[in-house]
Amino acid sequence: MHYLIGRIGPEILGYLDYVIEGGVLIYLLARLLRGRGAGLLGATAYMAASVGVGTLRMLVAFHYGPRSHQYALCYWLTDYWIVFCAFLLVGSFFRRACVAKSADLWHHVRLMLASVFVLTGLVAYATILHHHQGFFPFFVLEFQQDLYFVLMVLITMLYLMLQRYEPSDDQLNLLVCGLGIEYAALAAALALVQVAGYGALYGVVAGYAMPLSDMGMVLLWFYTAARVPKAVPAKEAQSPREVLPAHALARI
């Protein structure tokens, strides 16, 4: 039983997460191809990147073994790539939230996002220079936790902006909630590992918390794609008079 919980459980959970992600990606792609995926392009691209990363990790683990240095390197490098993709996705959501209200706002937000990106890059570069020895595993975990936290703060800013400018766009709000759930859980899990002193807890976090938080986001996105259509902006919405045929209008 202990073996099942400690070793096989996380592996099964990891594969399950991968399968669910793959299934939801196929569903999203099918919706896009049928022209019923309005507002889901960014989420689909992010999901494709995530499934691609999952495939690459599995190939590396199969080739070099899951406890090899190559796998660790591949894992963390692809994790940075996923965080970068999430950053781009958050940027696209910011754009969607701003453009509907005013193009001017988007210019300010774009500047803010670029500043955050450059600042994070500079801080990352400086800290990597400072920690070039003993890179694995403690520094990587701490750095990753900070990246997740920065992303979570950005997502929270986006969520607050949505409450002000696009509170009726349920699709966008739920997509953002999904991202928030994943990155808040990841930041909390890695912070917990650090607070607990990098002990056996890391295995539990990596094995259970990471795939579970990912599954939470993926399932919420699936619900959003299946049940919640994209909100029509007010300026695009047609009045009843515009929809009525000419002969009906003539009788009014």
Partner 1 sequence: MVAAVLILVLSTAMFFFYFQAACERILRREFDRQYFMPIVNANRLEFPSIRKAVMDYTAPLEYSRFRMMLKCDYLALTYLLKNAGNATQCYSKEDRLLMLYFRLTVFLLSMGHLFHVGERRAILRMTAILEYLGNVIGRRVNLAKLGELSASDYLLTLD
- Which stretches of the chain bind partner 1, using CB under 8 A? 142, 145-146, 148-149, 152, 156, 159, 170, 173-174, 177-178, 180-181, 184-185, 187-188, 191-192, 194-195, 219-220, 222-223, 227-228
Query: Cα(162)–Cα(99) distance, rounded to whole angstroms?
Result: 12
Q: Report which residue type is found at 230.
A: K
Choice between 46 and 60, CB closer to partner 1: 46
> What residue has token string 């590396």?
60
Choice between 56 and 124, CB closer to partner 1: 124
Number of CB atoms found within 10 A of residue 154's CB? 23
Beta carbon of residue 249, minimum distance to partner 1 (angstroms, whole number):
27
Beta carbon of residue 235, minimum distance to partner 1 (angstroms, whole number):
23
Dihedral angle sign, alpha carbons of residues 90, 96, 102, 104: positive
Beta carbon of residue 2, minimum distance to partner 1 (angstroms, whole number):
27
Which pair of structure tokens corresponds to residue 104?
């001017």
Choice between 140 and 177, CB closer to partner 1: 177
Asked whether 83 and 116 are in contact (CB, 8 A), the reply is no
Beta carbon of residue 247, minimum distance to partner 1 (angstroms, whole number):
27
Query: Cα(95)–Cα(176) distance, rounded to whole angstroms?
Result: 13
Choice between 38 and 249, CB closer to partner 1: 38
Q: What phi-psi label fits residue 231: left (phi over 0), alpha (psi between -120 and 50 degrees) or beta? A: beta
> What residue has token string 């938080």?
213
Choice between 49 and 205, CB closer to partner 1: 205
Beta carbon of residue 192, minimum distance to partner 1 (angstroms, whole number):
6
Distances in Å between the Cα of 138 and the Cα atoms of 34, 55, 102, 120, 196 are: 46, 26, 44, 19, 12
Choice between 58 and 219, CB closer to partner 1: 219
Asked whether 49 and 248 are in contact (CB, 8 A), the reply is no
Beta carbon of residue 212, minimum distance to partner 1 (angstroms, whole number):
11
